[in-house]
């Protein structure tokens, strides 16, 4: 996977390439990376990359020509790469898109600054307009880093040990199960007994159940467009029965009955 970032602040990426899975992936030749200064493609003594908007108004617009030249140069290095513009107006970046991006040979990530990018660049040069969430940054650089990190994790051989990306949260539109490590008891809170049992089948079952229930409680939106398996339906039904049992017991012996207010 080849990442080329087009930015007016290439130095921002220097520390980013140096740490963690990114640096390891570079060393193992799983990815190669470069941050290219758009200013190098700007004309004139002052190499300006922005200009005032036609029609007036405040803020500046990124000029089309330097961006067009920078994108063309990046395409010469990697002709089959897809171009991605980071913009709050784009499609929201999700795990499935990280997987799709990882299947491309290369990505040219275009970081906008100022108020936006000349519209003709979006129309002529960009394959994907991507947002990392509904908020405004000062530029696309942090968004580009988010995408590079999420995509790199999806490139085979970039994660340590067994391929743990398959078990991640979102890998099946489910949140991951809870994790515990030592100590066994922390301020009166104990690690769930089953995890200490050594019974791998029971542990797997517990993890699957808690992963489904957590998703239901914390991110029900993830379950909306996802068909439930028979096993998952059984888990949710069992959970329903447990809740009904509690309600039933409460209505027989609950607050009202005990306090005698009825
Ligand atoms: C890019 C925000 C991607 C969210 C300002 C310039 C942005 C952004 N996702 N804000 N680019």
Domain ranges of the chain: 2-152
Out of 7-16, 37-46, 129-138, 253-262, pick the least confident: 253-262
What per-residue confidence (pLDDT) applies to 189? 98
How many angstroms separate the CA atoms of 233 and 219, rounded?
17
The residues near 138 (Cβ < 8 Å, ≥ 6 apart) are 113
Give catalytic status of residue 91 as yes or no.
no
What per-residue confidence (pLDDT) applies to 166? 76
User: Bridge partners of 116?
Assistant: 61
Is residue 256 over pLDDT 80?
no
Is residue 252 over pLDDT 90?
no
Among 112, 114, 117, 126, name the best residue to mutate to test ligand 1's pocket (greatest count of ligand atoms within 8 A of Cβ): 112
Q: Is 7 in the pocket of ligand 1 (CB under 6 A)?
A: no
The mean pLDDT value for 209-234 works out to 94
pLDDT confidence bin for 89, thresholds 50/70/90: very high
Separation of CA 143 and ligand 1 centre (Å): 7
Which class in CATH covers the domain with range 2-152?
alpha beta
| Smallest CA separation from ligand 1 atom 2, residue | 88
Rounded to whole angstroms, what are the CA distances from 250 to 203, 241, 244, 246, 258?
31, 14, 10, 6, 10
What per-residue confidence (pLDDT) applies to 261? 53
What per-residue confidence (pLDDT) applies to 162? 55
Give catalytic status of residue 115 as yes or no.
yes
Q: Is 87 in the pocket of ligand 1 (CB under 6 A)?
A: yes
| Percent of residues, the chain, with pLDDT higher than 70 | 95
How many angstroms separate the CA atoms of 145 and 168, rounded?
20
Out of 63-67, 122-126, 216-220, 258-262, pick the least confident: 258-262
Contact 38, 7 (CB under 8 A): yes
Separation of CA 60 and ligand 1 centre (Å): 15
User: Mean of the per-residue pLDDT values for the chain?
Assistant: 94
What per-residue confidence (pLDDT) applies to 253? 79
pLDDT tens for 112-138 read: 987 899 999 999 999 999 999 999 999
| Smallest CA separation from ligand 1 atom 6, residue | 139
User: ∠ at Cα 118 (6, 38), nearest 5°?
Assistant: 25
* pTM metric for this prediction: 0.92
pLDDT tens for 30-67 read: 999 999 999 999 999 999 999 999 999 999 999 999 99
Give catalytic status of residue 141 as yes or no.
no
Contact 83, 125 (CB under 8 A): yes
| Percent of residues, the chain, with pLDDT higher than 90 | 87
Q: Is 116 in the pocket of ligand 1 (CB under 6 A)?
A: no
Separation of CA 160 and ligand 1 centre (Å): 31
Separation of CA 89 and ligand 1 centre (Å): 8
């Amino acid at each position: 996977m080849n990442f080329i970032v087009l930015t007016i602040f290439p130095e921002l990426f220097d520390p980013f390439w140096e740490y963690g899975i990114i640096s390891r992936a570079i060393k193992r030749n799983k990815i190669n990376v470069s941050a290219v200064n758009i200013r190098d493609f700007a004309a004139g003594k002052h190499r300006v990359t922005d200009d005032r908007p036609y029609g007036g108004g405040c803020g500046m617009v990124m000029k089309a020509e330097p961006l067009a030249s920078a994108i063309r140069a990046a395409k010469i290095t990697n002709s089959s790469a897809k171009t991605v513009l980071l913009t709050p107006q784009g499609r929201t970046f999700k795990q499935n898109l990280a997987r799709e991006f990882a299947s491309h040979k290369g990505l040219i990530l275009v970081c906008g600054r100022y108020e936006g990018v000349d519209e003709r660049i979006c129309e002529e040069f960009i394959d994907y307009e991507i947002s990392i969430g509904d908020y405004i940054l000062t530029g696309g650089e942090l968004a580009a880093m988010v995408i590079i990190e999420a995509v790199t994790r999806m490139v085979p051989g970039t994660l340590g040990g067994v391929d743990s990306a398959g078990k991640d949260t979102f890998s099946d539109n489910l949140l991951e199960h809870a994790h515990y490590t030592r100590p066994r008891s922390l301020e009166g809170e104990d690690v769930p007994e089953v995890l200490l049992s050594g019974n791998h089948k029971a542990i797997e079952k517990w993890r699957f159940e808690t992963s489904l229930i957590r998703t239901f409680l914390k991110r029900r939106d993830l379950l909306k467009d996802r068909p439930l398996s028979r096993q998952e339906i059984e888990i949710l039904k069992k959970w329903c029965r447990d809740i009904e049992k509690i309600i039933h017991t409460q209505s027989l012996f609950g607050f009202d009955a005990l306090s005698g207010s009825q």
